[in-house]
Structure 1
Amino acid sequence: MATGKFRLKTNNDWNTIFFRFKQGNKFDIETSIGIQVPKGRWSDVKQEILSTKEINYKTINVKLKEFEAYIRKEYENTKIINESTIINSKWLKEKIDTFFNRETENKTANEKLFFSNFIGSFIEEAKTKRTKRGTPVKPRTIQYYNTTLNKITTFESFAGYRLKLTDIDLNFHEKFIDYLEKEEFLINNTIGGFIDTIKLFCGNADKKELNVCKDYKLTEFYSPSNKTKDIYLKDSEIDLIYNTKFEQDYLDNTKDWFIIGVRTGFRISDFLKLEKENLDNGFIYKNTHKTEFPVIIPIHEQVQEILDKRNGEFPRKISDQKFNEYIKKVSEIAGLTELTEGAKKVTFEVIKDGKKKNISRKKFGKYPKHELVTSHACRRSFATNLYGKIDTLTIMKITGHKSEKIFLDYIKITPKEYAEKLKAFWKNNSL
């Protein structure tokens, strides 16, 4: 029968506890458990730390008894689960580190214990995983998983400790949100996205029957959010931009792409990639990049005029970044100067680690509308302007929204605009 015993090897002011584990002539191994006791406060007979004010001896004594029982159980498991396991100093050290929640040299053991290690393995699995529809996980999704992992590791550096799967509780939730708000200067919607992803990680660990805290299931483990103030352009404002003449070619080119965006409902990743080959007999055909869903849409008269102006070709190619930069200038020249509620990126100076640093973050407020116009306004304007004029399902098939609830959250008709629609209806249908 295997036996275990704690002992000290030195008689210094502070002495490390070692654990010796042996069974006849099969093995006799010994290694440090990484805990020290003050001189004269260890009882070899009682196998425990004697009363002392210098350390929390009661808690340590409980852990020592739990550890001895744990080692016996792990050893007995090797006889049932894997008889080929070699019981040596490496095995003992790994069990000590696992029990005391320390990182080991065993990759699998670390992934079952530490949150960031588990996330790393989750990401690697995701790279070859298939979705419910049988398609690969998109690179953009993998990138967001990595961004969330980065926030976890920077939080660990800030807090000064490694997070275990069992640490992802309501206390962590509160501290992590506070960190992202005060140290990373992130807005609620961004923070909420990270919390949602953390819940996904915890749920996956739970399915694998790992020892994970169940707090992530509680309503208190909420994802912060803001009521977004995303803008859209009314048809009259789109026409204003369309009819504005621009002397600079790069602005005229950007204007044409913008009109194509708002009259097709495509995302910027799709409409900026349109080619002559996507045209056929008065329709635009496109397999969308994000959803890989084929969309067919009739060519709007303004888009047709742009194509005619360019001998049947789409405008000159432009990057997403340049488009979002130039479209603000286009909108300004067109006269979209009305103060409008929304969020835009602003750069401000902060002091971090004793050094001044410039960071860019979204900030809510009232700004001239042209400062808020981005590529996101294209698809949102398309959907909002058509809502109520044709059936919702038709719009959703083009925009790619999977549920009416998500779609209705996406469109940006204000309560006042709904009231004006009702007023016009009553006027047109009065006796």
Structure 2
Amino acid sequence: MATVSFEYRSTKDYAPLTMWFRHYINDAGIKKNIRISIVTDIIVDGIKRKPKRNDSKKKGAVYNDWDRDSLKKADKKKLKKLEKFITQEFISKSKYPGFTINKEWLQSSYARFKSKSDSKNKKGLLVDRIETRIKDLKAERKSINTIKKYESLTTVINDYNPLLEMSEIDEPELVNFRRWMLSDMKYGLNTAEKHLDNIKTICRKAVSEGYDVPEGFEKFKVRDRSIHKIKQRIIITLTTKEIERIEKLELKQDYLINARKWLILGVYTAQRGGDLLKYIIKENFTKIDNDYYISFKQGKTGKQMNFIALPKVRDMYLNNEMPHKISSQKLNEYIKLLCKEAEINKMITANKKEIVKLDNGKKVRRNVSKSRPKYEYITSHTFRRSFCTIHFKELKMPENLVMQFSGHDTTREFLKYIGEDNNDYSEFKKLYNMI
């Protein structure tokens, strides 16, 4: 484990601090304790202290320490930043083959820290540019999900290297960042690539605003074919028969009865979980002629929706049987219980978030692929996919009609969402008598 500490090693009343870097290694049974130090330019007041028993062979010796209480607030903050910077430098550089811990490395790392600290252009840090991007997105009233992506990126960069500057984001740095996300932090490949895409967006914006960004960032390929696994996309939906089984369950618990109502609304309106719980409510129903319509603006896209209430949804509204409010977390928990009781338990191998332990001992939630009963994968978003899949694939409804419910803007986007191949040659087969 790497540690950074500071020591006063002078007999004068005030002098610069010495910085110590220590790292203990146990490699295949060979133990090694590395200790290196350099003198900083952080000058502090020294104080006299009497030695503890056995502190020195010379009785009554007087040693110097440094007065932490009198240290300026700015210097205290600087020491904390320096400690974090050196630790991050070690974590980052130790991944490169041939890296050696020595005095020269510590000295150069400290020099880099000073150049960063002395710079008046604080916005040159990547985390600062991300924060600026977040403020711009909020001002432009972009979707909450778009803003959350950059807020998540801020957290990731702070874990990786909070002092990473725009001028350091070249191709090797991005390669190292990707390796860190995949190997050390155990992020999924898609998650890592989304973060890298967003960093490149930040870099392009920074270049247009006159920031010093290496040209190498554009050469970096986010999607590296050498690390991609070719696998079929697994899309989990409820079938018509499975929905019928859930509807026929004899339930006694009120919370499960309420969750089933939300499930029925979901599989017959095609809305995302958040929109389902917020907007599929009696206040948004309107009668036009002999039919009832549901109108609202989607939270993710901001698209205005207005679609007909299908029979089971309409009847629930007319019979005053609409479900009461529930959190998305509770709904996801209860619908799994519903599906388990309906024996929707076919074994499926797919990703699902679980608690995993990183090499540093930290516990995080990450996607883990393994075989589980189908009910474990069912969430409120499954309702939306089920509606689209059933009505397009099973009931053969034209995609443009299904899209009136789902809100997809293009056929290509819709077909990708339900995992359907866009290569439909049926009309050519009819023309050339190939059927």
The interval holding the TM-score normalised by the smaller chain is 0.5 to 0.7
Determine which of 410, 413, 416 is the counterpart of 1:409. 416
Task: Name the amino acid aligned to 1:115.
Answer: L
Shift of 1:188: 1.1
The corresponding residue for 2:133 is 122
Residue number in structure 1 paired with 2:212: 211
Unaligned runs of 5+ in 2: 1-37, 42-102
1:155 equivalenced with 2:156 (yes/no): no
Does 2:113 match 1:103?
A: no
Contact kept, 8 Å, 2:145 with 2:300, in 1: the verdict is no
Stretch deviating more after TM superposition (195-204 or 382-391): 382-391
| Pairing 1:178–2:179 present | yes
Preserved contact between residue 144 and residue 300 of structure 2 (Cα < 8 Å)? no
Secondary structure, counterpart of 2:186 in structure 1: coil
Name the CA shift for 1:100/1:370 in 2 (closer, same or farther; >3 Å): same
**In the TM superposition, what are the counterparts of 1:390-409 in structure 2 within 5 Å?**
390-409=397-416
Contact 1:192 1:225 in 2 (8 A): no
The 1-side partners of 2:182 and 2:409 are apart by 32
Corresponding residue to 2:354 among 337, 340, 346: 346
> 2 CA distance for matches of 1:105 and 1:386?
60
Q: Residue 271 of structure 1 aligns to a residue in which SS? A: helix
Q: Give the CA deviation at 1:293.
A: 1.7
Number of the residue aligned with 2:299: 289
> Percent sequence identity over matched residues?
27
Partner-residue secondary structure (3-state), 1:245: coil
Instruction: Summarize the alignment of residues 222-371 of structure 1 with structure 2, pairs less than 5 Å apart.
Output: 222=223, 228-273=233-278, 274-281=280-287, 282-307=292-317, 311-352=319-360, 356-371=361-376
CA displacement 1:192-229 (0-9 Å, x = unmatched): 22112112111111221322123333362337877542
The Cα of 1:333 is off from its aligned counterpart by 0.4
Q: Alpha-carbon deviations, 1:355-375, whole Å to 9, x = none?
A: x44332221222110000011
Summarize the Cα distance change of 1:410–1:379 in structure 2 as closer, same or farther, 3 Å threshold.
same
The one-letter amino acid paired with 2:222 is F
- What is the aligned length? 317
Residues 229-270 of structure 1 show CA distances to partners (whole Å, capped at 9, x for unaligned) of 231112222222122221211111101101111110111111
Distance 2:294 2:185 in 1: 43
Secondary structure at the aligned position of 1:398 is classed as: helix
Output the amino acid matched with 1:276: K
Alpha-carbon offset, residue 317 of structure 1 = 0.8
Superposed, which structure 2 residues align to 1:43-122 within 5 Å?
Answer: 101-104=115-118, 106=120, 109-111=121-123, 113-122=124-133
Point out the more displaced range, 187-196 or 402-411: 402-411
Q: CA offsets per residue over residues 47-94 of structure 1, 9 Å max, x none?
A: xxxxxxx979xxx9xxxxxxxxxxxxxxxxxxxxxxxxxxxxxxxxxx
Q: What is the TM-score with the length of structure 1 in the denominator?
A: 0.65
Offset from partner CA, 1:253-298 (integer Å, 9 cap, x none): 1011011111101111111122212122322222222222221222
Q: 1:333-392, CA deviations, whole angstroms, 9 ceiling, x for partnerless residues?
A: 01101112322122234452xxx4433222122211000001111111111112252222
Does the residue aligned with 2:344 lie in a helix, a strand or coil? coil
Q: Is the 8 A contact 1:231 1:372 kept in 2?
A: yes
The one of 126, 151, 154 equivalent to 1:146 is: 151
Task: Give the counterpart letter for 2:316 in structure 1.
Answer: I
Q: SS of 2:397's equivalent?
A: coil
1:8 alignment counterpart:
none
State the distance in 2 between where 1:268 and 1:316 align.
15
Deviations 1:97-155 (A, max 9, x none): 9998423463xx221x3222222233233332x2xxxxx12343223212101211211
Relative distance call for 1:236 and 1:218 in structure 2 (3 A) is: farther
Distance of 2:214 and 2:349 partners within structure 1 = 40
Q: 1:374 aligns with which of 375, 379, 391?
A: 379
Conserved 8 A contact 1:104-1:110: no
Cα 1:181–1:276 change in 2 (3 A) is same
Residue type of the alignment partner of 1:337: N
- Helix, strand or coil: the match of 2:136? helix
Does the 8 A contact of 2:143 with 2:299 survive in 1? no
The change in CA–CA distance for 1:16 and 1:103 in structure 2 (over 3 A counts) is: closer
Q: In structure 2, do the counterparts of structure 1 residues 257 and 305 end up closer, same or farther at CA, with 3 Å as the change threshold?
A: same
Quickly say closer, same or farther: Cα 1:190–1:98, change in 2 above 3 A. closer
